[in-house]
Chains A and B, each alone.
Chain A
Amino acid sequence: MASFLNIRRIVDFAVLPLMNVAVALLISGLVVLFVGQNPLEAVGYLISGSLGSGEGIGFTLYFATSFLFTGLAVAVASHAGLFTIGAEGQAYLGGLGIALVCLSLDRFVPWYVTLVPAAAAGMLFGAAWAFIPAYLQAKRGSHLVITTIMFNFIASSIMIYVLVNLIKEPGSMAPQTRLFDKGGLVPKLGEILPVNIGTAPLNVSLFLAIAAAVFVWVLIWKTKLGFEIRSTGANPAAARNAGISYVKITIVCMLISGALAGLAGVNILMGDLGKLQLDFPAGIGLVGVAVALMGRGHPVGIAIASVLFGVLYQGGAEISFWMPNITRELIMLIQGLVILFAGALSLMFRKSVYSLVDLFRVSKPEV
């Protein structure tokens, strides 16, 4: 019995994700063929562009860092049975908190002093933005999927207002803040470690993201709160009977989720852009949903899925650079296909693979 379950676990955690990606790439290949290009050539650029050089790997892991934050954010909520689409808006608002701290401190203190309050502000702003949908879901039963999507739009509007009217660099036409000074920029990995990643913006936020992954693992599987979160997600009625408050778990979980999403700004703003600008999250919250689904809510799985999407982002950029006929839009289509198969349709092949595995087992002589 035990080995039987293990086989299904292997199917769930390894076989299915790989199949889903393969199918997505297969269909992408057909699309590439359709526009008259060579899919194998495209795959070549995808791999070599993202993993073939130190710089490529640096970019890949830089993207992966952001996805890891948002993926963890979505996963924490999903363990309580909550499906949040709000990481995008929470990351955006989190970025505001980070930028405010950076703009206040960057001229006076070194980066490692700024980092702590900046990260705290990012978490606080992200959590605050998650609180309202969480409260509405917990107390009023307003559907979290709907409210978090709406809150992404509201976040976007608020940020336009804030950037244009409140914190725009004086004299500039662009909706963005002034560049952060040295004290608001975290070091690139190339600057502090003996690695050659060229111009890639991979920075110390990677370690922050890994720490966040460890934190989520401990929280969900090692703490009393995590036990209550999992209980609520697995059987809300039984959790209630056990004295676990649905309202409390929903709100606490979404606050943690929002805080994790809010941290993504550290990577993007302090690690790369050096300023707060319009629409900086650029879809990382939505990729986070796919990453969390593909990683089955487990930090290790999410980390692997994050790297995969990092490959797609970086490799995709390479493809459109070297193969001009494959436009940026086509790359987005390919990424969308991976999200579709790895995220939304992630369990599509489960039943057939299970029965295939069972068939294989039955045909074996009983041990």
Chain B
Amino acid sequence: MQAEISSAKNVLELTGINKSFGSVVANKDVNLAVKAGSIHGIVGENGAGKSTLMSILYGFYQADTGAIRVDGREVGIPDSRAAIAHGIGMVHQHFKLVENFTVLENIILGAEEGAFLPSSRRKARLELQRLAKEYELQVDLEAITENLPVGVQQRVEILKALYRQARILILDEPTGVLTPSEADHLFRILRRLRDEGKSVILITHKLREIMDATDTVSVMRRGELIATAPTSSMTKESLAELMVGRRVLLRVDKSPSKPGEVVFDIRGLNVRDQRGVRMVKDVSFSVRAGEIVGIAGVAGNGQTELLEALAGNCVPESGTVLLNDAEIAADPFKRREAGVAHVPEDRHAIGLILSFPLRENASLGYHRRPEFGTSPMLKRSKLQQYAQAYISDYDIRPPNADLRTSLFSGGNQQKIVLAREIEHDPAVLLVGQPTRGVDIGAIEFIHRRLIELRDQNKAILLVSVELDEIRALSDRILVMFDGAIVGEASPDASERELGLLMAGIAEQDQGRG
């Protein structure tokens, strides 16, 4: 098997791909070869650079340096049209389908021939019937897309790529929205495609899928492609270790925590996202005064939805949230008034209003409190005073409360949010990705401030995809996988142990007895 694979020729070669966004290096000297008639898995944590690499391949981004060869010939891929012309097809994580079109219309969209549809339709129908038979991709061509289950919609995406004569098919986290049986069907289709000589690139963070479905696997970490090997030579454990890597532990000076009473108690929380997919599954845990509980996990395993539900930004399907044994309603205003402060994961989208001056953002959400005026008027002098205090206490630069918030750097914007949420004396602080996109100096400051807050006997819930951060700050670590809390670990747990939990391995092994 292995010999057979290595003898096949490379249908796709990437050499020396580099890509930076500003000062952030997303891909660093990446070399990748994909063989004809194989399923090639790419694994890595969130932010490892998988998606960037695939976006370069599909023409969404241009590499800063490096070459792409298809069938040994160097090609330029300035846009997705060029990618399609070279036989590269992509199935996105979020489908790109027109929901109220029929399946057939979606498939021929952009690939119609001539100005009139009937002839393209006729031709497409014949071709699609052939493809469906060949690859077990049965779909009702006349069905309205939005009425189909997600698994079938995904098949439409695959058909779309095949109809455009894709020979290299990229699937980005294809099983995220699928039920287990739908996922099994998908993998049957992928194997069939491979057997017909197509090449499949499967991007995932689920190690089970890599082990079950791929012939070759590449591991990415921090923008680099650090290993490529036949899947048969790897184990889930060795992959998890490669994925997480051995990293220098962030050093945060902290004394042992002295946890007090349970302050924040979550019982049986279930949350569905807007698509109706259950993202948080029966989550129960509690946070005590004077401790930091960290939620670790690969991004997309329900942490975002958990945090949003706890902050009151979405109404959970079921479950209760108790603060000092009293239930608090799922409303951001009531939560904040009760003493639950929230530093959101995405400060640009929901933490700040970027077009407003710092002065106004520094008190957004607290502006109704009497210190800003007991009449309907909002005291500008008070806004200014609070903003100035934050500027000096948190060393926000430039120290100008009148400046538009969009003109501050990421680290300084984050300090504005932190100052606002911390300085109103909350009982519980929910913090999501506190140092995402934040420079090193600010990271250290933010970490120190969170530890100080803990030592003031506050309860802190920290959600971060940065394992280093979780380990450096937390007194207890809960690991989320697929919407559920799959285990608890101490911050001294090994990378390996945490990595396995994060990859959902422990749970599955138990399940298999």
Contact = CB atoms under 8 A, between A and B. Distances in A.
B407 A241 contact: no
B55 to A, nearest CB: 25
B316 interface: no
Interface in A1-40: 1, 5
Interface stretch (B221-229, B317-325, B351-359): B351-359
A227 interface: yes
Given A1-B407, A224-B378, A242-B365, A237 B331 contact: no
A243 interface: yes
Contacts of B342: 241
Contact of A235 (B354, B377, B378): B354
B89 to A, nearest CB: 34
The list of the 5 closest CB pairs from A to B, nearest first, reads: A243-B333, A242-B365, A241-B350, A243-B332, A235-B353
20 contacts: A222-B378, A223-B376, A223-B378, A224-B368, A224-B376, A227-B360, A231-B364, A234-B356, A235-B350, A235-B352, A235-B353, A240-B313, A241-B311, A241-B365, A242-B365, A243-B335, A243-B337, A243-B368, A244-B333, A245-B333
B394 to A, nearest CB: 19
B440 interface: no
A291 B144 CA distance: 44
Interface string A301-325: 0000000000000000000000000
Contacts of A231: 353, 356, 364
Contacts of A237: 349-350
A274 interface: no
B377 A243 contact: no
B378 A241 contact: no
Interface string B361-379: 0001101100011001110
A211 interface: no
Interface in A229-258: 230-231, 234-235, 237-245
Contact of B373 (A224, A226, A235, A238): A224
Contacts, number: 69
Contact of B350 (A234, A240, A245): A240
Contact of A222 (B355, B360, B367, B377): B377
B336 interface: yes
A225 interface: yes
A240 B364 CA distance: 11
Nearest to B344: A241
Nearest to B335: A243
A39 to B, nearest CB: 41
Contacts of A222: 377-378, 380
Nearest to B376: A223
Nearest to A222: B377
A245 B360 CA distance: 18
B333 to A, nearest CB: 3
A284 B69 CA distance: 64
Contacts of A230: 356
B116 to A, nearest CB: 33
Given A235-B355, A241-B311, A243-B331, 16 more contacts: A222-B380, A224-B368, A226-B378, A230-B356, A231-B353, A231-B364, A234-B356, A238-B350, A238-B352, A240-B313, A240-B332, A240-B350, A241-B344, A242-B365, A243-B333, A245-B333
A223 to B, nearest CB: 5
Contact of A227 (B332, B333, B334, B367): B367
B364 A242 contact: yes
A1 B334 CA distance: 39
Nearest to B311: A241
A19 to B, nearest CB: 24
B350 A224 contact: no
Contacts of B360: 227
Interface in A92-124: none
Contacts of B351: 238, 241
B377 A223 contact: yes
A238 B349 contact: yes
B509 to A, nearest CB: 39
Nearest to B332: A243
Contacts of B344: 241
A230 B367 CA distance: 13
B376 A225 contact: yes
Contacts of B367: 224, 227-228
Nearest to B349: A237
B316 to A, nearest CB: 16
Nearest to B372: A224
Contacts of A224: 367-368, 372-373, 376-378
B42 to A, nearest CB: 32
A276 B18 CA distance: 73
A242 B378 contact: no
Nearest to B361: A238
Nearest to B354: A235
A239 B372 CA distance: 18
A237 B367 CA distance: 17
A351 B99 CA distance: 35
A6 to B, nearest CB: 13
A323 to B, nearest CB: 47
Contacts of B404: 5
A37 to B, nearest CB: 45
Contacts of B352: 235, 238
* Among A231, A242, A245, residue most surrounded by chain B Cβ atoms (within 10 Å): A242
B48 to A, nearest CB: 28
Contacts of B380: 222
Interface string A169-205: 0000000000000000000000000000000000000
Contacts of B334: 243
B380 to A, nearest CB: 8
A241 B332 contact: yes
Interface in A212-228: 222-228
Contacts of A244: 333, 365
Contact of B378 (A1, A5, A227): A227
Contacts of B378: 222-224, 226-227
A238 B365 CA distance: 9
Contacts of B407: 1
A241 B353 CA distance: 11
Interface string B289-317: 00000000000000000000001010000
